[in-house]
Structure 1
Amino acid sequence: MTPKREAPPAHSTAVVRVLRLPAGETVDDRVAVEEPLELRIDGNPVAVTMRTPGHDEELALGFALSEGLQPVSARLPDDLAVNTIELEAPGFDPARVARSFYTTSSCGVCGKGALEAIAVESPPVESTLTISGTHVGQLPDRLRAAQAAFASTGGLHATGLFTAAGELVSAREDVGRHNAMDKVIGRAFLDGLLPLADHILCVSGRLSFELVQKAAVAGCPVLVAVGAPSSLAVELAVDRGITLCGFVRDGRCNVYSRPERITD
């Protein structure tokens, strides 16, 4: 029996009118919401990202961690500005951010002025975790079952955090694949789970360099995806000691790095 899906959060979807062809009928359709979120430190804007509203504090924390900003907490700003989160990051040096970040929902590294600006500031992942190939193959379906907003709109990416036994710890959706992972990492930070040496991250789409970067910063040893990795994603996974699994579907899987963590 297929488990009943939960309804998507009201803030994550919106209803629009659409003309359906070739029937020629005009009907209501549900689409994913996309809005900007400004991140501040000490009241000063440091980033703007396009995201699906919801779990904004988690998103802010995950983004800050991935950028090496060492955040402590995230909250609504004192002026209660809409679509704004205030980060507490003691010791933050504005010189680290030579520009005002702007990230689109499709690519978190768009707009960065130099390759050095996306250099990973994390040590190689240290973990003794292993996971069976059977459990790896089940992760995308388990993540899909938690994607209420995707089921309603077809327009959202997702990231899920799993135990080595394949149990879902948390799942988040967003129009941006990097935002979905930031939300999961931010939640793990709040729950005291970092580094994620005993966990697996699973994403609903392809594997980009930036997703591997975020997994490395979070200390996660295994990253699983339904789609394909890029060449730079594979190179970074090899460099940081991350097991990268792509094309995980229908019982099949390609392991691109550190295959010894995947058991029969």
Structure 2
Amino acid sequence: MTVHRQMMNLGIRSIEARRIVGRAPPESAHDDVAVEEPLEIRIAGERLAVTMRTPGHDRELVLGFLFAEGVIGSTKDVLGVVHCGRVGDEARENTIDVTLVPGMKPPIDPETGLLTRRGTLMTSACGVCGRRSIDDLVARVAPLAHTNPGIARSVLTGAVRSLRDRQPIFGRTGGCHAVSLVDFDGREIATYEDIGRHNAVDKVVGSRLLADALPGAGMVLVVSGRSSFEIVQKAFSAGVPIVAAVSAPSSLAIDLAKRANITLAGFVRDETMTVYTSPERIT
């Protein structure tokens, strides 16, 4: 089984700093920090979105993002995903242009004539409107079916606990999130780190798109930190029935998980967890 991991050399930068300990004189030091740079996503040369991300596996990130937004249904809808600009230009590494297959139309807002995001229903009128966003998603993606047998609680807590061991960038910088996809037996399928949890999820989903391995029935999305609406949205779009996080979910994440029939667990630490929706999948 192939495990996809973040390219650590792109995600870390060493900087000069001053370290202060107690009342001792400050000392010069080098400190590793997580890299944060913008990535502009274009379709046929027109900007769709800009996300702040940790460089590395940009192709997976873009494909996962477009899939979650409902722009593409699989890699068969895509002719090319390439960095664009002059070779050697720093901006080239931070801009990706996507070419869709003939007949595939990018999402256009009829009011503005501009590209618009579908999955989170961003419009000039309302931005991300919670209830409308959930209605839009449920209309596009059917609520997930229950999977039998479910997952043992020990497997779930073990998957979250072992996530820490799969975070080399965090280990060096203390400033990066991580997301793993594991199966119901606890086997790791893919792990990515990024300055943003949502980007790490996009990289995981994009890697499964490239492997032609979606939907993710029988899989668990394991998230460092909290679960936001966007995290659950991406799991829902990818057909992943369980989201387990180290910290708390937001209220809108819970609302969407309930509508999507996703098992959402928070505060998964040691042998404890709080299950907010669809607890019957956990045995």
TM-score of the superposed pair, with normalisation by structure 1: 0.87
Q: Secondary structure at 2:93's aligned position in 1?
A: coil
CA contact (8 A) 2:83 2:95 kept: yes
- Does 2:132 align with 1:128? no
Tell me the distance in 2 between the aligned counterparts of 1:227 and 1:124: 24
1:213 aligns to 2:233 (yes or no):
yes
What is the match of residue 32 of structure 1? 34
Residue 68 (structure 1) aligns with: 70
TM-aligned CA deviation for residue 86 of structure 1: 2.2
Q: Residue 237 of structure 1 aligns with which residue?
A: 257
Secondary structure of the corresponding residue to residue 131 of structure 1: coil
Are 2:95 and 1:84 aligned? yes
Q: Name the counterpart of 2:89.
A: none
In the alignment, structure 1 residue 10 sits paired with structure 2 residue 9: yes
Structure 1 runs of 4+ aligned residues shifted over 6 Å read: none
Worse overlay, 77-86 or 45-54? 77-86
Unpaired stretches in structure 1, ≥5 consecutive residues: 1-5, 103-108
Deviation at 1:122, TM superposition (A): 1.8
AA in 1 matched with 2:100: A
Superposition deviation, residue 8 in structure 1: 6.5
Q: Does structure 1 residue 95 correspond to structure 2 residue 108?
A: yes
Q: 1:29 to 1:250 in 2, by over 3 A?
A: same
2:165 maps to 1:163: no
- The size of the alignment, in residue pairs, is 251
Deviation string 1:115-165 (CA, Å, 9 cap, x unpaired) is 146742322112415100000111112211111101000000111000110
Corresponding residue SS for 1:38: strand
* Greater C-alpha radius of gyration: 2
CA contact (8 A) 2:267 2:273 kept: yes
Rounded Cα–Cα distance in structure 2 between residues aligned with 1:114 and 1:128: 31
CA change 1:93–1:180 in 2 (3 A) is same
Task: Name the structure 1 match of 2:266.
Answer: 246
What's the offset of the Cα at 1:88?
3.2
Return the offset for 1:224.
0.4
In angstroms, what is the RMSD of aligned CA positions? 2.4
User: Would you say the 8 A contact 2:34–2:169 is kept in 1?
Assistant: yes
Report Cα offsets for 1:88-118 as digits up to 9, x if no partner. 334233414966679xxxxxx8x97241467
Determine if contact 1:48/1:101 at 8 Å carries over to the other structure.
no
Q: Match of 1:87, as an amino acid?
A: V
Q: What is the aligned partner in structure 2 of residue 56 from structure 1?
A: 58
Q: Is the partner of 2:255 in helix, strand or coil?
A: helix
Aligned partner of 2:19 in structure 1 is: 20
How far does residue 43 in structure 1 lie from its aligned partner after superposition? 2.1
- Structure 1 residues 78 and 179, CA gap change in structure 2 (3 angstroms): closer
**Partner letter of residue 233 of structure 2?**
Q
Partner of residue 46, structure 1: 48
Partner Cα distance (2:205, 2:116) in 1: 19
The answer on whether the counterparts of 2:6 and 2:191 sit within 8 Å (CA) in structure 1 is no
The answer as to whether partners of 1:172 and 1:184 remain within 8 angstroms in 2 is yes
| Residue pair 1:58, 1:184 contacting (<8 A) in 2 also | yes
| Aligned-pair CA distance for 1:166 | 0.4
How far does the alpha carbon of each residue in 1:42-100 deviate from its partner, in whole angstroms, 9 at most, with x for none? Answer: 12221111100000000001111111101634522454533122223342334149666
User: What is the rounded CA distance, in whole Å, between the counterparts of 1:227 and 1:9 in structure 2?
Assistant: 25
Alpha-carbon distance in structure 1 between the residues aligned to 2:278 and 2:128? 29
Q: Deviations over 1:191-236 (max 9, x none)?
A: 1111101211100110111111111001110000000011111111
Identity across aligned pairs (percent)? 43
Alignment correspondent of 1:185 = 205
Identify which range, 89-98 or 235-244, moves more after superposition.
Answer: 89-98
Cα distance in structure 2, aligned partners of 1:53 and 1:65: 20
Separation (CA, whole Å) in 1 of partners of 2:106 and 2:246: 38
With over 3 angstroms needed to count, the CA separation of the structure-2 counterparts of 1:100 and 1:35, relative to structure 1, is farther
Residue 255 to residue 46, structure 1, CA distance change in 2 (3 Å):
same
Preserved contact between residue 161 and residue 171 of structure 1 (Cα < 8 Å): yes
